[in-house]
Amino acid sequence: MKTAACFAITLLLLVASPVLTSEKAQPNVDNPSNSLVFGYIDMSDAPTKVDGAWLQQVSAPTDASYWSMGVENGLFYNPFIQPGTYQLSKFSGTGVMAGPHEYQFPRQGRNETAVTIDRPGLYFLGSFKYVTAQKGGMFKQGKFSIQPTAEPTEAELLRRMLQDERKVAKSKEYNGPKKIKMSETSWADRIRARLDELE
């Protein structure tokens, strides 16, 4: 009888645990506390293309200090960002000749992309262009900086986002759907409202 009770409890825990875990581990893209952070980087002068960007939370510590974002044709965004102060931490990509590359911003100092999110909303970091500041050698990556550019504009990027379907940008603990179509989320209305403001 005792063995049967133990077995039943173990079974119950096994069945219940994924439910409990998934509830904690799946942030909702439509969560009203989320902010949508986005931007654009022109890497045409860089040794490689980039396919990843990382946003670092520099204040209001959380377990997820780094938030990844996919970069496609320069556009990057993440619709899961919680209140706090952030700035871009690095870009990454791979080139045929250059191999895997990381374009890392120094942690010390405020860079051009720093943003403070005090209430949920849309936050445009800006459009930027990669600039080589100092060439690297065979074993050393060069130093770089980014310069703000007028184009693409915030409105252009928002329109692109509405048509975008991509592998979801996520934090480490994210365990939700692999792809998100922004036009099918609650962000679509907010993006359109912002477009109305801009136009």
Partner 1 sequence: MRRFWILLALGTSCVVALAGPRKPIRSLDELTANETIVVGRVELVPPLREHDQRLRGPMSGRFADKMLLMVDAERRELTQEPGRGDFKDRIDAHFGEEFVVRSANEPFFITAGMVYLSLGHGLPDQAYFPGGLRADIKPDDRAVYIGTIRYHRNEFFEITRTEIVDEYQRVNVEFKDRFGDTYPLRKALLTPAR
DSSP label of 47: S
CA-based angle 67:70:75, to the nearest 5? 110
Distance CA 40, CA 130 (A): 11
- Shortest distance, position 140 Cβ to partner 1, whole Å: 8
Q: Residue 56 Cβ, how far from partner 1 at the closest point, in Å?
A: 9
Q: Which is nearer to partner 1, 92 or 185 (CB)?
A: 92
Q: Are 60 and 85 in contact (CB under 8 A)?
A: yes
- In whole angstroms, how large is the CA radius of gyration of the chain? 20
Min CB(100)–partner 1 separation in Å:
5
Q: CB of 108: closest distance to partner 1 in angstroms?
A: 4
Judged by CB, which is closer to partner 1: 107, or 181?
107
Binding residues vs partner 1 (CB under 8 A): 58-59, 61, 65, 85, 87, 90, 99-100, 102, 104, 106-110, 114, 139, 141
Of 83, 87, 98, 81, nearest to 47 by C-alpha is 98
Residue 58, amino acid: V
By beta-carbon proximity to partner 1, the closer residue of 110 and 119 is: 110
Nearer to partner 1, 141 or 153 (CB): 141
Give me the phi and psi of 165, to 5 degrees please: -135, 120
Closest approach of partner 1 to the CB of residue 37, in Å: 17
In the bound state with partner 1, the residue whose beta carbon lies nearer, of 107 and 135, is 107
- Write the CA distances from 133 to 54, 66, 104, 190, integer angstroms: 21, 26, 13, 38
